[in-house]
Amino acid sequence: MDFKKEFISELEKTIDGVISYDNLVKMIEKPKHDNLGDLAFPCFELAKHYRKSPIIIAEEIVQEMDVSTFERVESVGGYVNVFLNKEKVSQEVLTNILNEKNQYGYSGIAEGKTMTIDYSSPNIAKPFSMGHLRSTVIGNSLALIAEKQGYRVIRINHLGDWGTQFGKLIVAYQKWGNEKKVKESPISELLALYIKFHEEAEKDSTLNDQGREAFKRLENGEREAIQLWRWFRDESLKEFNKIYELLGIRFDSYHGEAFYNDKMDRVVDILAEKNLLIESEGATVVKLEGYPPCLIKKRDGTTLYATRDLAAAIYRQENYHFDQSLYVVGHEQSLHFKQLFAVLKKMDCDWQEGMAHIPFGMILKDGKKMSTRKGKIVLLEEVIQEAVQLAVKNIEGKNPNLLEKEEIAKQVGIGAIIFHDLKNYRLNDIEFSLEDMLTFEGETGPYVQYTHARATSLLRKGEFQPDSSTVVKLKDEEAWPVIKLLNQFPDSIAKALAEYDPSQIAKLLLELSKAFNKYYATVKILTDDQKQQRLTLVYTVKIVLKEGLRLLGMKAPTEM
């Protein structure tokens, strides 16, 4: 519900069109402190126009305004502060949620539009690191949020399954590899080979050349190279799928870089046709204004990351006809995406307007980037194990009779990890800290889940039956902040999508949880006198918490 509009239309009558409707919308704000009201209008702009003190203007507006639709209106220090009619607003907000249920917050603004989201995209033959977790979790949440606004979403896992690194790996395997060992624990053995390769290459620089040659054999489709590559890929994918299953994440496409191998000649042809290709130091590049040139082909004729991304972009447009195409990829690749979009623009692909890089900060270890090559890496699977174990321990201490302990511990432990990643602005770097990630108190995922479980428990004990004809007259002071936050949920979803920022939702859920827990602590809910009304509030809180958690990719256990 947009109660701003009522305020504005009353306001407009008093200021003779000095400020346009659209500007008024922007100027209305939330007072910093609850005791100042629910909405505020600052009169400082008007002071210039009327050449009067804002304090006097505010007082005059209050005098002239029809305040009957509000609880009260007052002028304080140059502001017109409005206190909404709590009963009316409560009734509207709760009835609305009661009717819409988990559809609450849906807006059809993107109905009929298609969005592709490229996220997760781990590298084959390397462990799934904490860094990939960010892309996975942010991308997944953005996909859910986009769907909530009506988008048809195509989830793409652009696997890093091609490139010189596989040449290196093939060389390493042929020199030092052992089939049996790789079969036993593929990822860690392949990683060990990869690390060894880089160690040896420091002593013997010809190894890097050998790696490039091996990749060339791969690109040319040589049988032995292809067989090894396919084997590495299959084994890796098996491992990744375990993690996706734990996180409850799925994709519509697993087309990785290799998939575009036979689609790159066409890209190069188009570039040549448009006279965009230039020879430079033996390589083939596209010159760009304002950015360094984009490398299309190496001296030895093999392709690069950018070439494959061009092919992928064109493929996605031709197959999905996307209106928007997001790339949830680390901030360190910002330049690459600027170049990519610029090249597409030069190719007259006007649909590139809909493409966007959604960068995020890095997970640092001791203030530095983690490097796979040096084996400085934290494994996601181990972190998940620890989180789940800690959740089990908590359940045994706090709720030993709980059924399905294992399943709930999984939901809570993983919830803690996901929420920890999503609650802050995505561009912030995160210093890796197991301790922070495994905290279950305060502003955490389990705190929100716990609040949901509490709400559910009340509904169960009170044998609540939702009834949209309930007349909600909540006299409790503490209910009001809860209702205001429930009302903000649709806005926070819209903002999360507009800014590609799931933390907007996480923050709202925290605020709502805090307000509800305060309500819970001060108001006795299961009493005879306002039980149905109070439980209706509890029920709507439960709906919003559950739906909000879902949009973050988290489960909402009913008990914990």
Residues of span 213-242 touching RNA by CB under 7 A = none
Q: What is 187-252 written as a DSSP string?
A: HHHHHHHHHHHHHHHHH-THHHHHHHHHHHHHHTT-HHHHHHHHHHHHHHHHHHHHHHHHHT---S
Can you name the residues that pair with 152 across neighbouring β-strands? Answer: 114
Please count the residues of this chain forming the interface with RNA, following the rule CB under 7 A.
98
The interface region with RNA, picked from 129-137, 188-196, 268-276, 430-438 by CB under 7 A, is 430-438
Closest approach of RNA to the CB of residue 481, in Å = 10
Q: x-or-dash pattern for RNA, window 112-131, by CB under 7 A?
A: -----------x--------
CA nearest to 54, candidates 69, 34, 40 = 40
The interface region with RNA, picked from 101-109, 198-206, 247-255, 440-448 by CB under 7 A, is 440-448
33 binds RNA (CB under 7 A): yes
400 binds RNA (CB under 7 A): no
Among 333, 470, 488, 532, interactor with RNA by CB under 7 A: 333
Whose Cβ is closer to RNA: residue 106's or residue 305's? 305
| Cβ-based neighbours of 180, under 8 Å, separated by 6 or more | none
- How many Cα neighbours within 13 Å face the side chain of 246? 27
Tally of CB atoms within 10 A around 381: 14
560 binds RNA (CB under 7 A): yes
Closest approach of RNA to the CB of residue 295, in Å = 5
The interface region with RNA, picked from 12-20, 77-85, 95-103, 138-146 by CB under 7 A, is 77-85
Closest approach of RNA to the CB of residue 359, in Å = 7
Whose Cβ is closer to RNA: residue 114's or residue 219's? 219
What's the order of all strands across the beta sheet hosting 363-365? 368-369, 363-365, 430-431
The interface region with RNA, picked from 65-73, 109-117, 155-163, 173-181 by CB under 7 A, is 155-163
Q: What is 22-79 written as a DSSP string?
A: HHHHHH-B--SSGGG-SEEEE-HHHHHHHTS-HHHHHHHHHHHS--TTSSEEEEETTE
The interface region with RNA, picked from 260-268, 311-319, 445-453, 543-551 by CB under 7 A, is 445-453
Among 17, 108, 112, 442, interactor with RNA by CB under 7 A: 442
Q: In whole angstroms, give the CA distance from residue 507 to residue 151.
A: 23
404 binds RNA (CB under 7 A): no
CA nearest to 423, candidates 331, 513, 508 = 508
425 binds RNA (CB under 7 A): yes
Site for RNA in 446-465 (CB under 7 A): 446-447, 450, 453-454, 456-458, 461
Decide if 519 contacts 425 (C-beta within 8 A). no
96 binds RNA (CB under 7 A): no
Q: Tell me the three-class secondary structure of 513-527, residue by residue.
A: HHHHHHHHHHCCCCC
Closest approach of RNA to the CB of residue 451, in Å = 7
Among 13, 49, 374, 524, interactor with RNA by CB under 7 A: 524
Whose Cβ is closer to RNA: residue 137's or residue 153's? 137
The helix or strand, by DSSP H or E, that contains position 122, with its residue range, turns out to be none
| Cβ-based neighbours of 133, under 8 Å, separated by 6 or more | 363, 380, 417, 421
